[in-house]
Structures are given as C-alpha cells and as structure tokens.
Amino acid sequence: MTTGQLILILLTITSLFSTTICHRPLSTNHHCNRHNLPSQKLLRPDQFTVLINGYSESRIPILHTITGIYSSSPSVAAVVLLWGNPNTPSTTLTHLSHNLSTSSPGHAPITVIRQPSSSLNARFLPRAWISTRAVLICDDDIETDTKSIEFVFNIWRNNPEQLVGLFARSHAFELTSGTWIYTVQPDRYSIVLTKFMMMKTEYLYLYSCGGGELMTQARLIVDEMRNCEDILMNFVVANVTSVGPVLAGAKRVRDWGDARNDGQKALTAAEEVAVGLSSRKKEHRKRRGECITEFHRVLGKMGLRYSYGKVVDSVGEQGLCQKGGKLVFCDQQFFK
C-alpha cells in the first residue's frame, strides 16, 4: 500500500465521522492530544499536504480546477478540502468529494472533510492524518500553476521555520489614534495571508494547543471578529522565530475572489503586489487593524516582525519604479 493510498483511507474514515458542524467556539481537546498525532520525526520532508478552506457552493466549479492543479504538483502528498459552511447538505459534499477525486488528472488523493466547527480557527487544527512536515494553507479562490507551487515549496525547504506566502500585508502604528493598523507598505511586510501560506506542520499544534490562556483569548478574538486567523498565525510563528515571513513571487496567480479579475486574464505576482489593498473595503481594513491591536493587548507584546524583499525566480521581477504616481514593478505597465 502506498503512502497516498493510506492517506486516502484515513481521510475517508475521517470524513465519514465528520458529518455535523456547530457554531459554538472550537473545542481542541481531541486534536491537542499528542498521542493522537504522528511524531514530527516520522513526517515526510519531501512532500506537503494542501489544506483548502472551503465555504461557498458557488466556488465548486473553481474548486475542480484548483484541486486538480494541486493534485498534479509532484510534491503534494494529499489535497484536503476543509468545508466550513454548516448549511451545506452532506449529500452535496459527498458528491463533491467523489467528483473531485474521479475528475482530477493528478496523482495526489483529493478528499472533502466537513469541519467540526464553523470557527475560522478550525483551519489550523492539527490532524492525525497529516503525514508531511509542511502544509499549504490556502483559500478556495486562489489559482496558481504547478511550477509556482513547487517554487514556493523549495523556498520553504530552505526556510522551514518561517511562513512562506504569495500575498503579503503589513502592520503599522498610527500615532494619532494610538492603535495598530493593517496596511500595505512598498518596502516591507510582516504578514502573509492564508490565501496561500506554507508552513511547518508543527505550527498547527502551536496555534491550536499552545500559548496557554493567552492564546485561548486570542483565538476567541478570531471567533468574535470572524476574521484574522491568518494574522494570529503570523503572531504565533514570529513569536517562535523572532523573524518575519517570506514573500515568494509566483509566475502566475489568480484571485477569483477579487472582482478585478472577473473576465480578465490571471494576475502575475507583480500585478498582485502592485494593486495591493485597493479593492478592500475600508471597514475590512479597520477590523483587521482592530485584530492586531487586540492581539497585541492580549498577548502582551507586538510579536509581528518585518521582512524585506521577495524571493523570485527571475531577475525581471525585482525592480520597483514610480509609474502613474504609484510604486509598481518596472517590467509591468500601469493603467489608470
């Protein structure tokens, strides 16, 4: 029996016993029992597990494409769609799991598992069936190519203690209000988003099970805000490493959740950085800033750390120029 077949069996068993979902705060007692988890020494270093956060049934057509790409990536051991919508019928998820598995052109097994809670914290639960040292946390509306996926994995293998992602943001202190804000800065970043975030599997345990009462309070903030689980993960990892995340450059990435992409070609990584937060609502940025302020208060310190620059596989992406009053990559056109 191959590793992939064993993973598929474990995932199938898990999905059969994960047919209900609740709205109450997430209970981590079972998931935090070390005896239920494989030893870190036994986890595979040459592959990673993809954990996709799914919620909207309208994304199902996109998911067929996205999961197929991940499954076709040589370094992927398994693709798992973690479904967090409590209102989706079980029959829909059963059909979805079957269709994704049978239609995929890739080698890695694809499985759909209903989350034990609608809490966003659930996407970071440690899982007994994860057999790899690295996991890729991603959203159900981000499409990239296998070359970029492998590139990010290679970056992570050279920086296994850090978070590696394709989408970066930053924190900053606003003197007038005396609060932290969530923003984009052209020269530095301190947060990579769960749109596409690769990390060490052990960090799932640290997020969900570590940190004592302080982390319990921080996770409650995520539940109250229905947001910011990615920011909190950046806090957790920076607290351990004392360094910021790593931003990687993908040749091709498309954010299907971004209205600017409707009917258009996929964004390059350079274009994604150039547009930054322009399509985000002001209220969203405000709430994210409130999360940073609350995490700082609850955890007792500002744990986020800045990083500078981006890892790319082509020199052409590295230059920044002023065009149309905006800082964009020199090899990109700017359109008002």
End-to-end CA distance of the chain: 57
Contacts of 328 (CB under 8 A, 6+ apart): 270, 274, 320, 321, 334
Rg (CA), the chain: 19
φ, ψ of residue 44 in degrees (nearest 5): -70, 130
Q: Which of 139, 141, 223, 230 is catalytic?
A: 230
What pLDDT, on the 0 to 100 scale, is given for residue 5?
52
Q: CA triplet 270, 275, 280: central angle to 5 degrees?
A: 140
Closest to 155 measured CA to CA, from 268, 50, 312, 270: 312
Name the pairing type of β-strands 132-139 and 44-54: parallel
Cβ-in-10-Å burial (0-12, 13-18, 19+) of 324 comes to exposed
Work out the widest C-alpha separation in the chain, in whole angstroms. Answer: 62
Q: CA triplet 51, 49, 130: central angle to 5 degrees?
A: 95
Count, residues in the chain: 336
Angle in degrees, 0-180, between the axes of helices 146-158 and 60-72, rounded to the nearest 10 = 60
CA–CA separation, 284 and 281 (whole Å): 5
DSSP state of 277: T
What pLDDT, on the 0 to 100 scale, is given for residue 313?
82
What pLDDT, on the 0 to 100 scale, is given for residue 325?
54
* pTM, rounded to two decimals: 0.82
CA–CA separation, 220 and 54 (whole Å): 21
CA–CA separation, 333 and 133 (whole Å): 39
**Superfamily of chain region 33-312:** Spore Coat Polysaccharide Biosynthesis Protein SpsA; Chain A (3.90.550.10)
Amino acid at 86: P
* Domain boundaries along the sequence of the chain: 33-312
What pLDDT, on the 0 to 100 scale, is given for residue 273?
47
One pLDDT digit (tens) per residue for the chain, 336 residues? 555 555 554 554 444 334 334 445 566 678 899 999 999 999 999 999 999 999 999 999 999 999 999 999 999 999 999 999 999 999 999 999 999 999 888 999 999 999 988 999 999 999 999 999 999 999 999 999 999 999 999 999 999 999 999 999 999 999 998 899 999 999 999 999 999 999 999 999 999 999 999 999 999 999 999 999 999 999 999 999 999 999 999 888 998 876 555 544 555 555 544 444 444 578 899 999 999 999 999 999 999 999 999 999 864 444 445 555 554 444 443 333
C-beta of residue 35 within 8 angstroms of C-beta of residue 121: no
CA–CA separation, 239 and 162 (whole Å): 11
Tell me, yes or no, if 331 is annotated catalytic.
Answer: no
CA–CA separation, 224 and 233 (whole Å): 16
